[in-house]
Amino acid sequence: MIETGAHDSDVGQWQTVQCAADPRLRPYVHGYFASSSRLRVAVRERHLPSAEVPLLLNFGEAHRRRVSASALADSDDWIAHDRAWIVGLHTRHQLTRATGERHFMVVRFTPIGAHVFLGVPMHSIANDAIDLDAVDARLARAVVDRVGRVQTWPARFAAMEALIAERIATHPRTAAVDTVTSSAAHVWRRLVATDGDVALGALADQLDCSRRTLIARFRACVGFPPKTIARLLRFNHVLRELDRASRTRANETVGKPYIERADDPDGASSVRAHARDPRAGAVRWADVATDCGYFDQAHLIRDFREFAGDTPEAFLRRVFDAI
């Protein structure tokens, strides 16, 4: 079912279209999202690590992404992405800059789905965003040709879904490939179902392989070892809890970026604007830590700082649509 939305504020106007994937493809892709926007001011988007691997198709001006937010904090060194590019799983936040008119589409792959669709080891694109041409030039042409041939977002979703189904159907089916993919997929499902609360040794016993073998298979099909993914999933659980109380993000996916004003390089004005906002300090972090599977509040804060680049409270005060 196609869902549409619209937004109009001092930041700009945009319309969104999204739909879930065919149920038969859900192990590989969650769904599809598209946006057409006209921004009145430049904005910076803070992308936090999530458990999705997005493929982005651009139909407007190039997107600009900062390589390393910490290393280039005082630099204006941004990388431009055009046409189609894939973003592997990340363990650190990324910044993108948006101005003017934008028209783009996102395919929300699972890591296993991206591995099957791309045919590459997922650790080779982890913590990176790579033009699809550089991954597989023939696949990039097929994506751009198929999706670019039609004009409406629903038609583009359908064209992309047909291509995904074809790629999955023709995925190599040797015994060795099946063993690696199926064991990694089993571990992935267990981790997602428990928000990372699974003993790796028990999973290795279930699959009749060593921990080392299991980690290698999982890293090839997902991008990071299971322990790292468990931490990432716990962090995503925290984000879902925070978003649930938000005015603007209650029904959004964790992968959707948080918006900051681009004319405020360090987020200082956002922090000052929300410094007295009681909502930013009303979260009971000890309760959130317990509910989301952390040993204690300090453990949550350490992970949050690593993944988001800020303490939890500073993050809430920084983002433009803070809770």
Residue 285: which residues within 8 A CB-CB, separation 6 or more?
297, 300, 301, 312, 313
For 152-189, what is the HEC assignment? CHHHHHHHHHHHHHHHHHCCCCCHHHHHHHHHHHHHHH
Question: Contact, 92 vs 308, CB < 8 A?
Answer: no
Domain ranges of the chain: 3-169
Angstrom distance (rounded) from CA 177 to CA 142: 24
* CATH hierarchy code of domain 3-169: 2.60.120.10
Unique residue bearing structure tokens 């859900």: 26
With H, G, I as helix, E, B as strand and everything else as coil, classify residue 140: helix
Query: What is the DSSP track for 202-217?
Result: HHHHHTTS-HHHHHHH
What pLDDT, on a 0 to 100 scale, did the predictor assign at position 250? 62
What is the predicted pLDDT for the residue at 281? 56
Output the pLDDT for position 76: 55
Report pTM. Answer: 0.87
Position 82 scores a pLDDT of 77
Q: Beginning with the edge strand found earlier in the chain, give each strand of the sheet holding 63-66 in spatial order.
A: 78-81, 63-66, 94-98, 43-47, 258-261
CB 49 within 8 A of CB 59: no
pLDDT attached to residue 175: 60
Q: Where are the alpha helices (DSSP H) in 67-136?
A: 111-118, 132-135
At residue 198, the 3 state secondary structure works out as coil
pLDDT in tens, the chain (323 residues): 899 989 888 888 989 999 999 999 999 999 999 999 998 888 888 899 999 999 999 998 777 776 554 444 445 567 777 789 999 999 999 888 888 888 999 999 999 999 999 999 999 999 999 999 999 999 999 999 999 999 999 999 999 999 999 999 988 766 666 788 899 999 999 999 999 888 888 888 888 889 999 999 999 999 999 999 999 999 999 998 888 766 666 677 878 888 876 555 544 444 334 334 445 557 888 999 999 999 899 999 999 999 998 888 888 877 644 44
Q: What is the DSSP letter of 62?
A: P
